């Protein structure tokens, strides 16, 4: 059976990709942000995951407003990205794991989640930037050292799935991964958030107190967040802060007790409160 090694949740601001491409990690604006990642990379080197199940939201690269699945699962041999207009170089496609993809598709449908299955799928900054932060390298030339399965969640176009529904999806995902007949070591990755709002009257909104409480609760009492409705979360975290649903799903997939490996929080990166949390499932 497969082993779930843990979960890493991180923000996915496009400007991070441009900063990596320009080698700005030690620049005074960027240094306090990038400083969060080495301890997590070190932990990943020890835990040696083979495949990452990446819970993220697409921003118009693969799905546009005309067709927006609530939950979609990738089942492709590889996942290319493309120019989204943010000034991020196009990287090599991320290799998939079709065996895990089809196992997840079958298990989630069996568990009554009516997902969309994607045998071709472009992945945007919300997928590639977290992987580039966790496995740094010249990914325009050097192959990725990890396979991945994308789980795409609609956090963009209302109506959004409820927090409770997302939590249940995460639990079903965790059960499915644990039941996968494979020697592989699997990492959950959840991307997006934390608080941010990119447009409208509250553009620039950040809620540090709520973000830090959310990160604490995600470790010790992950069900806490399910008391909130989607509109509560929009009010508390901003219209794009609801991307934290991806963190909730990744966390809910972890079986049993967890151990906090590392947490980091820095504001702002672009318009966003940048959070990072690594949880081990080995306790």
Cα–Cα distance, 158 to 252 (Å, whole number): 23
Helix (H) or strand (E) holding 147: strand 147-153
Q: In the bound complex, what is the minimum distance in angstroms from residue 200's beta carbon to ligand DHB?
A: 14
CA 269 to chain centre: 17
Task: Work out which of 14, 74, 93, 170 binds ligand DHB, going by CB under 6 A.
Answer: 14
Catalytic positions, written as ranges: 125, 196
Q: In the bound complex, what is the minimum distance in angstroms from residue 231's beta carbon to ligand DHB?
A: 19
CA distances, 272 to each of 34, 159, 194, 244 (Å): 14, 23, 7, 12
Binning the chain into helix, strand and coil, the percentages to the nearest 5 are 35, 20, 45
Q: Within positions 140 to 169, which residues make up the interface with ligand DHB, using CB under 6 A? A: none
Cα–Cα distance, 8 to 262 (Å, whole number): 9
Between 50 and 243, name the residue whose CB sits nearer to ligand DHB: 243
Helix (H) or strand (E) holding 31: helix 31-34
* Interaction of residue 128 with ligand DHB, rule CB under 6 A: no
Of 202-210, 227-235, 244-252, 269-277: span binding ligand DHB (CB under 6 A) = 269-277
Cα–Cα distance, 142 to 99 (Å, whole number): 24
Of 12-20, 22-30, 65-73, 170-178: span binding ligand DHB (CB under 6 A) = 12-20
* Interaction of residue 9 with ligand DHB, rule CB under 6 A: no
* Interaction of residue 266 with ligand DHB, rule CB under 6 A: no
* Interaction of residue 196 with ligand DHB, rule CB under 6 A: yes
Q: DSSP of 83-111, one letter per residue? A: --SSSPPPPPPEE--HHHHHHHHHHHHHT
Residue 26-65 contact track with ligand DHB, rule CB under 6 A, x = bound: ---------------------------------x------
Q: Interface with ligand DHB by CB under 6 A: which residues?
A: 12-15, 59, 192, 196, 198, 240, 243, 270-272
């Amino acid at each position: 059976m497969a082993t779930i090694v843990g979960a890493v949740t991180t923000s996915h601001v496009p400007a991070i990709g441009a900063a990596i491409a320009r080698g700005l990690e030690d620049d005074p604006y960027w240094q306090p942000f990038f400083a969060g990642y080495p301890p997590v990379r070190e932990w990943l080197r020890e835990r040696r995951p083979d495949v990452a199940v990446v819970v993220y939201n697409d921003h118009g690269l693969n799905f546009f407003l005309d067709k927006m699945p609530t939950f979609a699962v990738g089942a492709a041999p590889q996942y290319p990205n493309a120019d989204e207009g943010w000034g991020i170089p196009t990287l090599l496609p991320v290799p998939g794991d079709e065996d895990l993809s089809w196992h997840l598709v079958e298990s989630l449908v069996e568990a009554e989640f009516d997902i969309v299955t994607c045998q071709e799928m472009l992945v945007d900054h919300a997928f590639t930037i977290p992987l580039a932060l966790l496995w740094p390298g010249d990914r325009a030339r050097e192959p990725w050292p990890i396979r991945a399965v994308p789980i795409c969640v609609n956090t963009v176009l209302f109506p959004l799935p409820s927090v409770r529904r997302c939590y249940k999806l995460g639990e079903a995902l965790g059960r499915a991964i644990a039941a996968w007949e494979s020697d592989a070591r699997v990492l959950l990755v959840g991307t997006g958030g934390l608080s941010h709002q990119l447009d409208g009257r509250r553009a620039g909104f950040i809620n540090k107190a709520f973000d830090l409480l959310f990160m604490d609760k995600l470790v010790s009492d992950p069900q806490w967040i399910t008391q909130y409705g989607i509109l509560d979360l929009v009010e508390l975290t901003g219209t794009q802060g609801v991307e934290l649903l991806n963190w909730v799903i990744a966390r809910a997939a972890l079986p049993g007790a967890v151990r906090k490996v590392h947490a980091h929080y820095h504001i702002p990166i672009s318009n966003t409160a940048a959070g990072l949390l690594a949880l081990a499932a080995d306790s």
